[in-house]
Amino acid sequence: MALPPDLAGDVPAYLKTTVKPLAVIDGGARRQDSVANAFAHVASRADIVVIHDAARPLVSADLIRRTLDAAVEYGAAIAAQPATDTVKRGNADGVIIGTLPRDEIFLAQTPQAFRVGILRDALALARGMVEATDEAALAERAGHRVHLVAGDAQNVKITTAEDLALAEQLVGSPAQRDPGATMLRVGTGYDLHRLVDGRPLRLGGVEIPFDKGLAGHSDADAVCHAVTDAILGGAGAGDIGRHFPDSEAAWKDADSLVLLARATDIVRAAGFSVVNIDVVVVAERPKLVPYIDVMRASLAGALGVAIDRVSVKGKTNEGMDSTGAGASIAVHAVALLARA
């Protein structure tokens, strides 16, 4: 692929992940110079070279194959559309000086395909020449017969904003092609910490009076941790351990509400906003009802959303397992994100 030299030196990411082998070549000043630069890299065993203008991204595999087949048969072939409008010649004063026979008029597209020898002749002719608007013109001047292959009305050349809008109508906008990529995402988070003596109990950034607290490297706020994992998960942005590893001293005794706010920034940077979150806190004791709305307000502040987007519910575990026995508190959270 020939690109303008500044782009060829800094190849866009989407060109680095192509399935087929792709060599990026510095383009030249004129179209034929770019083609000649790329042609110099064509494998010596090649029989046919197909040239395509990247400004025509809607080309079909069928049109490429038909153009290729015609080049194999005739030596040189291009995709072209028969003119459907009546074609006039005009002068510089905007006055018609003739009407061309429409059935002889074809509008050249790409792909344009050539046997290697024919393209070599054409490009040799191009060296000293003024700009040719396509390779077929060069092949014609070099004395070769170039065949016409019925082009495709969808194979539009995109050079203006109007062309781009037309192309989006033809193939659908990104949102229409993949609604899931542009709308809603869901994420889930879970956390459990042991309840121990001698620690304050913090849940959702709120200190709750109790004779025990949660054990952990940070403030062990299991509500903030579960919500952080839920929003990061929804954005496909990893988890709390990746962004705030407890191996790093910076996060020792960290305020988990601050980590949640930072995770919200990560989610925003990934292109998402938080629609709502719903949290279930499983704790045998203490009773959480008096603190629910304070937790909601605190979480809403860190997430940058209105309090009605945040739900916190308390549950007990009916005396079962470690949480039911009062030895731990577990938290489940789900987050809905929208692409901003």
Which positions touch Mg ion (CB under 5 A)? 191, 225
Shortest spacing between CB 240 and Mg ion, in angstroms = 7
Q: CB-wise, 3 or 288, nearer to Mg ion?
A: 288
Shortest spacing between CB 249 and Mg ion, in angstroms = 17
Secondary structure of the chain in HEC code, one letter for each residue:
CEECHHHHCCCCHHHCCCCCCCCCEECCCCHHHHHHHHHCCCCCCCCEEEECCCCCCCCCHHHHHHHHHHHHHHCEEEEEEECCCCEEEECCCCCEEEEECHHHCEEEEEEEEEEHHHHHHHHHHHCCCCCCCCHHHHHHHCCCCCEEEECCCCCCCCCCHHHHHHHHHHHCCHHHHCHHHHCEEEEEEEEEEEEEECCCEEECCEEECCCEEECCCCCCCHHHHHHHHHHHHHCCCCCHHHHCCCCCHHHCCCCHHHHHHHHHHHHHHCCEEEEEEEEEEECCCCCCHHHHHHHHHHHHHHHCCCHHHEEEEEECCCCCHHHHCCCEEEEEEEEEEEEC
Shortest spacing between CB 225 and Mg ion, in angstroms = 4
Q: CB-wise, 183 or 327, nearer to Mg ion?
A: 327
Q: What radius of gyration do the chain's Cα atoms show? A: 32
Shortest spacing between CB 193 and Mg ion, in angstroms = 6
Q: CB-wise, 223 or 267, nearer to Mg ion?
A: 223
Shortest spacing between CB 214 and Mg ion, in angstroms = 8
Angle at which helix 256-269 crosses helix 292-303, to 10 degrees, equals 40
Q: CB-wise, 52 or 225, nearer to Mg ion?
A: 225
State the Cα–Cα distance between residues 46 and 50, nearest whole angstrom: 11
Instruction: Tell the residue number behind the tokens 């203008």, with chain if given.
Output: 53
Residue whose beta carbon is closest to Mg ion: 225
Q: CB-wise, 144 or 225, nearer to Mg ion?
A: 225
Shortest spacing between CB 159 and Mg ion, in angstroms = 54
Shortest spacing between CB 41 and Mg ion, in angstroms = 55
Shortest spacing between CB 178 and Mg ion, in angstroms = 34
Q: CB-wise, 134 or 191, nearer to Mg ion?
A: 191
Q: CB-wise, 225 or 332, nearer to Mg ion?
A: 225
Q: CB-wise, 70 or 226, nearer to Mg ion?
A: 226
